[in-house]
């Protein structure tokens, strides 16, 4: 089918499908820790080009779902699709599209920062010139360009978090999955991180992250899901969910129910 | 006191969970390590019992007590001296505990007690069977059991004190250098070999066939706990008993005082040694590598920055190098002294020389089967395992690169040793090839077994590397299996060489190892990925 053969209607429908396609599709996912149900029939979608916040109290199941999406943790029921591919059936193809930034940046402490970032790039088969450009750009952005030759063991929590972020961004992922990405970052790094997130979605990328900083989620995100005791209690457009109230107020009201 | 007990409860809860892994059927997983531990205890009891019966004929059954007390003490000093560095100076809870209103001596006491509990395992494995064997041969009364229980509890105290002092000195010295891992490993190895050398220096017998008894007797004269054990077992004296108890308690108190005094200075110095490198921002390397190469580089970095793993896995290889060196330079002396000292020795020096390929094979099996690096490699990922699992690399590739890394660490040493032996003693081509095949197949079997064991018994939440390398179920099972395979290999090698000749014997052993290696390779390749995917840190 050539572009010329498309009618205007078909063309618009094609554009709608491309831009409205789900990058992350979670269908009826349940996860058990022994007898405890950590995730209970969780279903929602994250579309291409959107920033999606995932919020909930401590122990609600945020990290469990993030680890399940990234293929770190197995789940008993349901399915997770990354750009149409199942994380269970095609884990490597799914992971190739994603980057994961953990909540606690426990990286390889004995490695130099540059070696760790290169290691991540090697796993994604990033060409030398691409990684050089990206590493230098993001290292400079996060003020880490002079620290890359040091071992990760010598870094503070925030510096480790920055290294995890640089490593994740250096292979230009289509989907960025982050668990509490702003914890430990200094104000400048938080600002830069937000700018990077906006740039990624502008370029067609997708961001899914968990956070406790609700006012930031409110300003930054297109859509939001609220989780409570492993169940999704609210999911949808940020504006629709919060209405005239603040996200914090909505969240606290839902939590109190 | 309540602070100490609370602290102990907190520190012990993590450190002593040998079977710490997520499993649906945890109890079934405990069976193998416990069964292997019990089997080893039974074997030591059997050997101690046989030895005691023989010694009892000469009225020397008490030698068994001193011998095993010395063996236990030497093992604790050797092993504890490099363990002390990690357990005392690198725990993760330092900052948290120092910020609390707890005396430093209380923190050190808790760590020392934890260390002591770990070392008690050696008392239970070596000393307890000896005590049982002695009691079965001698008329053991109530006082003997009082002495025996006291000794079981107190024998580790002085060796632990010595080990801590050595560990303290090693950490203090290595902390002064830039490449402190290298210095820590080098000093730990020197200490271990010096301990072995010191023990062997007591061998003053005239090769009368009971040299270990003579050695034990000589050492007993100088080693106070062993002397006291024998004295009290033979003739109980309440004053000697009480003095022994008081001395041990005083040593323990002195140790806590000294370590409280210096431990935190050393921790600070080690922290300073972690400082940022001002000149680190030179030109960075952005070279693209394959996944396998990148993984091997990562594994190598981890290995060479983990002193406790380096020391633990270098022992067999260092012994191998020493054995090759001694054979190359002193073979004629050994052979002639063996031929002269043993009456009616069936082999001439030339015949002994012709059996050197078999001896080399046995030496390689010792180095290879007791060096299981992969048994810790998954656990040592720690919490970073989640980062690795999120990367687009298959579990099979991760596991295989870990095995390959271990092979790359072992093979250069063993192959070089083999080639030195080939050229020094002019092995036949076929014998040389057979030895080489075994040199590659044996570590492959060990490392494939190691990775499978670590997949079954991972430990991602350890306080420090020592917990993974020395105190995890994975290492325990791998060590027992390695010892078992070594015994089996020695027996089978000598049996097949005796029955079918050297070349045929080596060929049979090679065939066994190659088949087992292929089988294990397919197990890892087919099942490894599935098991890997189920793990989460």
Query: Tens digits of per-residue pLDDT, B186-205?
Result: 888 888 888 888 877 766 55
CA distances from B206 to B197, B211, B215 (A): 18, 8, 11
Which alpha helices (H) appear in B58-203, and where do they start and end? 63-89, 94-98, 104-122, 128-137, 142-154, 157-174, 180-200
**Bigger pLDDT: B331 vs B181:** B331
pTM (2 d.p.): 0.83
Residue B3 forms part of a structural domain: no
Instruction: Say if B25 is an interface residue toward chain A (CB within 8 Å).
Output: no
Query: Tens digits of per-residue pLDDT, A28-78?
Result: 999 998 888 999 999 999 999 999 999 999 999 999 999 999 999 999 999
CA distance B220 to B65: 10
CA distances from A129 to A132, B287, B298, B397 (A): 5, 9, 22, 26
B241 and B314 part of one domain: no
Strand order in the sheet with A22-33: A36-47, A22-33, A77-82, A85-86
B265 and B360 part of one domain: no
Q: Last residue of a domain, which of B273, B306, B338? A: B273
Instruction: Say if A130 is an interface residue toward chain B (CB within 8 Å).
Output: no
Contacts of B383 in chain A (CB under 8 A): 104, 106
Residue of chain B whose alpha carbon sits nearest to that of A96: B392
Give the containing element (helix H, strand E) for A209. strand A206-210
B429 and B483 part of one domain: yes
B312 and B244 part of one domain: no
Cβ(A86)–Cβ(A232) under 8 Å? no
∠ CA B173-B178-B183, rounded to 5°: 45
ipTM above 0.90, yes or no: no
Domain at A22-256: CATH architecture: 3-Layer(aba) Sandwich (3.40)
Q: Last residue of a domain, which of B273, B308, B336? A: B273
Mean pLDDT of A170-196: 91
B480 and B530 part of one domain: yes
B511 and B437 part of one domain: yes
B269 and B301 part of one domain: no
Residue B9 forms part of a structural domain: no
B91 and B202 part of one domain: yes
CA distance B536 to B469: 19
User: Which of A112, A139, A149, A167 to probe by mutation at the B interface, max B CB count within 10 Å?
Assistant: A149
Non-local CB neighbours of B278 within 8 Å, separated by 6+ positions: none
Contacts of A123 in chain B (CB under 8 A): 291, 294, 391-393
Query: Tens digits of per-residue pLDDT, B264-320?
Result: 777 766 655 555 555 555 678 888 999 999 999 999 999 998 888 988 888 889 999
Query: Hey, what are A70's tokens?
Result: 């990234």
Query: Hey, what are B3's tokens?
Result: 């602070």
B230 and B360 part of one domain: no
- Number of domains present in the structure of chain B: 2
Partner residue opposite B391 with nearest CB, options A123, A127, A164? A123
Residue A19 pLDDT > 60:
no
Select the highest-mean-pLDDT range: A127-141, B21-35, B131-145.
A127-141
Mean pLDDT of the residues in chain B? 85
Least confidently predicted of A90-104, A242-256, B88-102, B163-177: B88-102
B302 and B215 part of one domain: no
DSSP assignment letter at A175: E
CA distance A196 to A175: 13
CA distance A23 to A19: 10
Cβ(B162)–Cβ(B244) under 8 Å? no
CA distances from B327 to B140, B281, B422, B464 (A): 46, 48, 12, 39
CA distance A186 to A144: 13
Residue range(s) defining the domain that contains residue B81: 31-273
Supply the pLDDT for residue B271.
58
Query: Tens digits of per-residue pLDDT, B232-241?
Result: 988 889 999 9
DSSP assignment letter at B59: T
Residue B19 pLDDT > 50:
no
Q: Tell me the pLDDT band of B209, cut-offs 50, 70 and 90.
A: very low
Q: Which residue has the tokens 């290292």?
A: A139
Instruction: Break chain A into its structural domains and give their ranges.
Output: 22-256
Least confidently predicted of A140-154, B92-106, B195-209: B195-209
- CB neighbours (10 Å) of residue B239? 7
Q: Last residue of a domain, which of B242, B273, B304? A: B273
Residue B242 pLDDT > 90:
yes
Long-range contacts of range A231-236, CB-CB < 8 Å, 24 or more positions apart? A231/A40, A231/A41, A231/A42, A232/A42, A232/A43, A232/A44, A233/A257, A235/A44
CA distance B426 to B432: 9
Instruction: Say if A86 is an interface residue toward chain B (CB within 8 Å).
Output: no
Q: Tell me the pLDDT band of B22, cut-offs 50, 70 and 90.
A: very low
B264 and B299 part of one domain: no
Query: Tens digits of per-residue pLDDT, B101-123?
Result: 788 888 888 888 888 888 888 88
B348 and B221 part of one domain: no
Instruction: Say if B289 is an interface residue toward chain A (CB within 8 Å).
Output: yes
């Amino acid at each position: 089918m050539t572009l010329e053969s498309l009618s205007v209607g078909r063309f618009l429908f094609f554009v709608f499908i491309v831009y409205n396609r789900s990058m992350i599709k979670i269908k009826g996912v349940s996860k058990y820790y022994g007898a405890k149900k950590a995730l209970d029939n969780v279903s929602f979608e994250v579309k291409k080009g959107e920033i999606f916040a995932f919020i909930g109290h401590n122990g609600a199941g945020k990290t469990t779902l993030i680890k399940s999406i990234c293929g770190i943790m197995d789940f008993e029921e349901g399915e997770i699709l990354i750009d149409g591919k199942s994380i269970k059936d095609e884990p490597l193809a799914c992971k190739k599209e994603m980057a994961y930034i953990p909540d606690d940046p426990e990286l390889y402490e004995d490695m130099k920062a540059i070696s760790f970032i290169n290691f991540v790039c090697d796993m994604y088969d990033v060409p030398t010139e691409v990684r050089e450009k990206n590493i230098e750009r993001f290292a400079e952005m996060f003020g880490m360009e002079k620290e890359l030759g040091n071992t990760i063991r010598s870094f503070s929590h925030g510096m480790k978090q920055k290294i995890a972020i640089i490593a994740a961004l250096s292979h230009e992922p289509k989907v960025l999955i982050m668990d509490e990405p702003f914890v430990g970052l200094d104000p400048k790094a938080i600002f830069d991180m937000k700018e990077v997130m906006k740039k990624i979605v502008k370029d067609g990328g997708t961001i899914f992250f968990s956070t406790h900083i609700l006012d930031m989620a409110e300003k930054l995100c297109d859509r939001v899901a609220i989780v409570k005791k492993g169940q999704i209690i609210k999911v949808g457009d940020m504006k629709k969910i919060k209405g005239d109230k603040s996200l914090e107020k909505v969240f606290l009201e839902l939590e109190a129910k | 006191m309540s602070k100490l007990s609370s602290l102990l409860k907190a520190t012990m809860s993590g450190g002593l969970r040998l079977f710490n892994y997520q499993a649906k059927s945890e109890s079934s997983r405990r069976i193998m390590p416990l069964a292997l531990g019990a089997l080893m205890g039974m074997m030591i009891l059997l050997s101690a019992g046989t030895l005691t019966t023989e010694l009892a004929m000469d009225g020397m059954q008490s030698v068994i007590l001193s011998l095993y007390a010395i063996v236990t003490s030497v093992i604790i000093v050797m092993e504890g001296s490099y363990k002390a560095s990690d357990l005392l100076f690198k725990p993760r809870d330092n900052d948290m505990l120092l910020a609390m209103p707890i005396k430093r001596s209380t923190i050190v006491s808790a760590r020392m007690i934890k260390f002591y509990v770990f070392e008690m395992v050696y008392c239970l494995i070596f000393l307890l069977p000896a005590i049982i064997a002695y009691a079965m041969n001698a008329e053991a009364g109530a006082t003997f059991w009082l002495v025996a229980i006291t000794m079981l509890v107190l024998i580790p105290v002085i060796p632990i004190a010595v080990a801590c002092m050595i560990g303290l000195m090693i950490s203090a010295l290595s902390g002064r250098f830039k490449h402190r891992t290298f210095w820590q490993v080098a000093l730990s190895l020197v200490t271990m070999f010096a301990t072995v050398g010191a023990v062997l220096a007591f061998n003053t017998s005239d090769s009368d066939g009971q040299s270990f008894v003579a050695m034990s007797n000589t050492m007993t004269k100088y080693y106070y706990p062993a002397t006291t054990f024998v004295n009290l077992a033979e003739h109980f004296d309440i004053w000697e008993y009480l003095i022994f108890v008081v001395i041990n308690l005083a040593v323990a108190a002195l140790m806590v005082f000294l370590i409280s005094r210096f431990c935190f200075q050393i921790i600070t110095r080690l922290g300073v040694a972690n400082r940022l490198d001002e000149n680190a921002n030179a030109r960075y390397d952005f070279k693209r590598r394959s996944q396998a190469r990148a993984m091997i580089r990562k594994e190598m970095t981890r290995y060479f920055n983990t002193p406790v793993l380096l020391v633990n896995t270098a022992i067999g290889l260092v012994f191998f190098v020493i054995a090759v060196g001694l054979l190359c330079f002193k073979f004629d002396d050994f052979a002639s002294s063996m031929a002269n000292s043993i009456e009616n020795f069936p082999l001439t020096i030339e015949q002994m020389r012709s059996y050197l390929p078999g001896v080399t094979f046995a030496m390689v099996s010792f180095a290879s089967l007791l060096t299981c690096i992969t048994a810790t490699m998954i656990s040592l990922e720690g919490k970073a395992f989640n980062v690795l699992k999120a990367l687009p690399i298959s579990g099979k590739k991760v596991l295989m690169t870990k095995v390959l890394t271990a092979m790359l660490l072992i093979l250069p040493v063993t192959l070089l040793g083999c080639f030195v032996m080939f050229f020094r003693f002019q092995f036949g081509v076929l014998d040389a090839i057979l030895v080489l095949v075994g040199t590659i197949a044996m570590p492959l079997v060990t490392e494939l077994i190691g990775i499978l064991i670590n997949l079954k018994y991972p430990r991602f939440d350890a306080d420090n590397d020592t917990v993974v390398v020395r105190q995890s179920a994975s290492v325990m099972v791998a060590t027992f299996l390695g010892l078992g395979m070594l015994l089996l290999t020695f027996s089978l090698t000598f049996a097949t060489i005796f029955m079918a000749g050297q070349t045929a014997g080596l060929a049979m052993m090679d065939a066994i190892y190659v088949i087992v290696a292929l089988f294990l390779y397919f197990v890892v390749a087919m099942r490894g990925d599935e098991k890997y995917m189920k793990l989460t840190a």
